[in-house]
């Protein structure tokens, strides 16, 4: 204790608070800018990233070694080099291991290193080692290629910058917030950046336009699409700019009645859970319409797959435009190329970034070459001393044995053999057992090799051209070893699908006035279209146009069984062989691609996905619900069905069939049209549709054709009034022929040659059988049948119209390849 009466000495200094705050803040700001937040333009790394890689290299955590606990690496970095918290070190370490954050990851992580939606596991649960690419950043550190500076307490040394054998800053990008400034740099493709760096190394006066031909834009780890390149050009020129990124989305037919948008790539730094959350919020607030569900099917085997199911009747391209507007499926990336150059933060364009890196790499290779040259000269000096000593090894040993001490021996060796002190010391330090391996031939061989290497190294140091060629060649090796194909698609402007362009074509004047393309209609317009049922049971609809156009190309796939004019939001009826009628919505049908007027049925879906059929039941035809249609059965019954269908049911009976009977054909029929029956016994009957009065849906119909014993109707159809191009096709054969054997004869006759007869009569003969024929295998009436040729054109597959209506047919062996009805 102080004696009473002795007051403590006071040392109070008056300071200006404003001045102290200014000084302290500037020191803090400088520390954040230089030591934490901004990357160095030479190696593209922040201090914490550089220290992590250097410490992992020092610990020997190479790609061919086992992983170690991440906590061990964090502890080593924090204790020796980085005087900050372990959380910041581990966060930086995790980012360098994430393939969705860096275009070329630098750490090989083992365990849960997080995702775009979730954080990583704690460092005690994960393991890490250097990735192969990280070796390219740290190689040659032991060859005096960069300057070393003391660590935070002055006890250890750390590299001021890494050698960086590839442009890490451009390849992996960077993000950081400092005081009064920030950086946000986009990742790029390694092969493209290396090509640009090689151009700058070979031609320091290269222009930005020449460089941008090699680096057209960023290449994001997540892929996706970049829409609009003007902002990228601005950023490459000034160091600041922005661009829009979009996910990769495809319109897919999820089921027969359901269309969906399938997302396989998302914008950079956007996770699927964030997109799902925003979609649900937008649907709940009525901003988004037409979406019924969102399912995340992402897994490790197939990657990202986000399925957005759409409601029926909505235009998928219009819904996609809404998703781009209200969700992170479209995101903006702002480029701000701020990096440290000679310790000073600068905003750099693409050309400046490449020049800073090229100068750094040239300096590294020059220093490495000088270091290797010095090492080889030192070794050559020792080898020359050994060659002198080995020529007279006995006397050398005698000199050493007779010397009183090492210093005397060294002086005598230097005097007798004219050696330097270094050579003499090296000879004195050799063990006797080492003398055996230093044969004269081996030393002379090593001497020649060292002289050759010294000459090459001196040539590199003496020629700027050779030095630049060496740097460029090493960069090319990096690109060949670690380069990957581009993932991100670059689009100069927004591209719309053909269907979207057609939907917006009416807004041409508005587009001229505003400079923007008109918005797409959200719901599918109720435009005219054609519903199609093929012979193989495929259902689809056209966007527009006439699928029955003559003369256009036809794909080699299928024939049309039923073609009905309707609208995109209209209703149709599907008639089955059991006499049932099922209500269908045209908007549920997939839209077919159409070229030169004829659709490609490859885009259709099986009818069984729309209509549930019982065993043995087939789909016969599609008919409109608002007009009278006719149907015929196998037992010769005909019925015209009146459109009085129930509004509260999806299926109902269109005819009450007798036991064993089935429907064989159905089509719309006006009073002036002709109803046609063709039987297995080659009888053809047609009569006006007006002779059959329309009946209710539960009626059983009336007699349509009189059948002989054992005969049955093979075909029923409708021929339009005044249709002079209609023909009748019959193919005869043997009832007892083995399956797969060719039928006998085929015949094509103009329909006009067959006279009309009364309803319920037997009709007229349509085909005269030849020897071995006793039944019709195929019968059909309508437009001329055709087959698809290998060149996608229409080629006639049946003989030309010939002979009398009751004559025989032509053998099918006469050049006929395919037979089958084809409307059109």
What residues are annotated to the active site? 125
Closest CA to 518 of 509, 529, 507, 503: 507
DSSP code per residue over 17-61 = HHHHHHHHHHHHHHHHIIIIIS-BTTT---HHHHHHHHHHHHTT-
373/455 Cα distance (integer angstroms):
9
Residue 748 bridge partners (DSSP): 729
665/621 Cα distance (integer angstroms):
7
Closest CA to 544 of 563, 567, 560: 567
- Long-range contacts from 449-453, C-beta under 8 angstroms, 24+ separation: 450/376, 450/379, 450/380, 450/383, 451/380, 453/372, 453/376
* Chain centroid, CA 337 distance in Å: 28
- 3-state class (DSSP) for residue 660: coil
Contact 260, 138 (CB under 8 A): no
Task: Specify the DSSP class assigned to residue 326.
Answer: H
Contact 525, 503 (CB under 8 A): yes
573/577 Cα distance (integer angstroms):
13
Closest CA to 236 of 183, 185, 194: 185
Residues 6+ away with beta carbon under 8 Å from 745:
731, 732, 770, 773, 808, 809, 810, 811, 812
Closest CA to 128 of 140, 120, 136, 138: 120
Q: Is 14 exposed, middle or buried (0-12, 13-18, 19+ CB in 10 A)?
A: exposed
Residues 6+ away with beta carbon under 8 Å from 679:
636, 705, 707, 708, 711, 712, 713, 714, 763, 776, 779
Give the CA-trace dihedral at 749, 750, 755, 760, to 10 degrees. Answer: 70
Q: What sign does the CA torsion over 101, 106, 108, 111 have?
A: negative
- List the structure tokens of 23: 């000084």
Task: Specify the DSSP class assigned to residue 239.
Answer: S
Within a 13 Å sphere around the CA of 90, how many CA atoms are in the beta-carbon half?
A: 21
7/19 Cα distance (integer angstroms):
32
- Strand 694-695 relative to strand 637-641: parallel, antiparallel, unpaired? parallel
HEC string of 756-770 equals CCCCCCCCEECCCCC
DSSP code per residue over 743-757 = PSEEEEEEGGGSPP-
Within a 13 Å sphere around the CA of 223, how many CA atoms are in the beta-carbon half?
A: 12
Closest CA to 357 of 98, 137, 670: 137
> Phi and psi at residue 242, in whole multiples of 5°?
-150, 160
Contact 161, 146 (CB under 8 A): yes
139/388 Cα distance (integer angstroms):
37
413/419 Cα distance (integer angstroms):
7
Instruction: Report how far apart, in Å, the C-alpha atoms of 573 and of each of 559, 585, 612, 616 are.
Output: 20, 9, 14, 20
701/655 Cα distance (integer angstroms):
7
């Amino acid at each position: 204790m102080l004696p009473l009466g002795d007051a403590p000495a006071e040392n109070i200094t008056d300071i200006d608070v404003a001045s102290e705050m200014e000084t302290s803040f500037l020191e803090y700001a400088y520390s954040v800018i230089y030591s934490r937040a901004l990357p160095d333009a030479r190696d593209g790394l922040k201090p914490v990233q550089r220290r992590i890689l250097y410490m992992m290299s020092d610990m020997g955590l190479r790609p061919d070694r086992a992983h170690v606990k991440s906590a061990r690496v964090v502890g080593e970095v924090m204790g020796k080099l980085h005087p900050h918290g372990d959380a910041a070190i581990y966060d930086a370490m995790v980012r360098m291991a994430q393939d969705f954050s860096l275009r070329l990851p630098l750490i090989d992580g083992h365990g849960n290193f997080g995702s775009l939606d979730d954080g990583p596991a704690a460092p005690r649960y994960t393991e890490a080692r250097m990735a192969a690419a990280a070796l390219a950043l740290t190689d040659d550190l032991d060859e005096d290629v960069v300057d070393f500076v003391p660590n935070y307490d002055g006890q250890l040394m750390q590299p001021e910058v890494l050698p960086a054998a590839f442009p890490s800053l451009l390849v992996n990008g960077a993000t950081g917030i400092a005081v009064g400034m920030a950086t946000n740099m986009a990742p790029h493709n390694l092969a493209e950046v290396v090509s640009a760096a090689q151009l700058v190394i070979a031609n320091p006066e290269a222009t930005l336009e020449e460089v941008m031909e090699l680096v057209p834009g960023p290449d994001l780890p997540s892929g996706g699409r970049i829409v609009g390149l003007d902002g990228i050009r601005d950023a490459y020129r000034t160091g600041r700019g922005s661009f829009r990124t979009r996910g990769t989305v495809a319109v897919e037919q999820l089921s027969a009645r359901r269309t969906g948008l399938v997302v396989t790539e998302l914008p950079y730094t956007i996770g699927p859970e964030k997109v799902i959350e925003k979609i649900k919020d937008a649907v709940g607030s009525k901003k988004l319409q037409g979406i019924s569900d969102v399912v995340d099917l992402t897994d490790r085997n197939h990657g990202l797959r986000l399925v957005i199911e759409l409601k029926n009747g909505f235009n998928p391209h219009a819904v996609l435009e809404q998703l781009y507007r209200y969700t992170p499926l479209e995101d903006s990336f702002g480029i701000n190329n701020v990096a440290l150059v000679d310790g000073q933060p600068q905003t750099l364009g693409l050309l400046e970034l490449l020049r800073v890196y090229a100068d750094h790499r040239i300096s590294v290779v020059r220093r490495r070459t000088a270091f290797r040259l010095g090492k080889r000269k030192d070794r050559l000096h020792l080898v020359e001393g050994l060659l002198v000593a080995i020529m007279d090894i006995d006397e050398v040993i005698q000199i050493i044995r007779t010397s009183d001490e090492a210093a005397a021996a060294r002086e005598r060796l230097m005097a007798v053999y004219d050696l330097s002190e270094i050579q003499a010391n090296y000879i004195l330090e050799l063990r006797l057992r080492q003398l055996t391996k230093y044969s004269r031939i081996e030393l002379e061989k090593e001497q020649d090799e060292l002289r050759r290497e010294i000459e090459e190294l001196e040539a590199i140091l003496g020629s700027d051209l050779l030095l630049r060629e060496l740097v460029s060649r090493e960069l090319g090796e990096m690109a060949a070893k670690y380069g990957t194909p581009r993932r991100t698609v670059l689009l100069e402007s927004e591209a719309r699908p053909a269907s979207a362009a057609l939907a917006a074509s009416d807004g041409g004047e508005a587009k001229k006035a505003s400079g923007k393309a008109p918005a797409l209609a959200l719901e599918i317009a109720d435009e005219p279209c054609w519903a199609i049922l093929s012979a193989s049971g495929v259902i689809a609809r056209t966007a527009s146009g006439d699928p029955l156009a003559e003369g256009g190309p036809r794909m080699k796939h299928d024939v049309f069984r039923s073609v009905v004019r309707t609208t995109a939001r209209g209703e149709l009826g599907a008639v089955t062989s059991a006499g049932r009628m099922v209500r269908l919505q045209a908007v549920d049908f997939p839209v077919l691609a159409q070229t030169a007027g004829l659709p490609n049925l490859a885009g259709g879906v099986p009818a069984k996905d729309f209509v549930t059929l019982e065993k043995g039941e087939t789909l016969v035809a599609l008919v409109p619900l608002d007009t009278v249609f006719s149907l015929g059965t196998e037992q010769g019954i005909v019925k015209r069905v009146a459109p009085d269908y129930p509004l509260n049911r999806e299926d109902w009976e269109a005819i009450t069939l007798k036991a064993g009977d089935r429907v064989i054909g159905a089509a719309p029929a006006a009073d002036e049209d002709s109803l046609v029956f063709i039987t297995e016994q080659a009888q053809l009957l047609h009569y006006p549709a007006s002779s059959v009065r329309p009946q209710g849906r539960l009626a059983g119909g009336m007699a349509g054709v009189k059948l002989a014993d054992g005969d049955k109707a093979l075909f029923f159809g409708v021929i339009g009034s005044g249709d002079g191009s209609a023909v009748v096709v019959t193919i005869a054969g043997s009832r007892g022929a083995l399956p797969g054997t060719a039928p006998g004869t085929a015949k094509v006759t103009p329909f006009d040659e067959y006279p009309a007869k009364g309803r319920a009569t037997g009709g007229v003969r349509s085909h005269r059988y030849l020897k071995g024929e006793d039944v019709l295998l195929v019968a059909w009436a309508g437009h001329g049948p055709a087959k698809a040729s290998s060149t996608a054109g229409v080629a006639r597959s049946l003989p030309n119209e010939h002979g009398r209506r009751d004559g025989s047919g032509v053998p099918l062996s006469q050049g006929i390849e395919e037979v089958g009805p084809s409307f059109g």
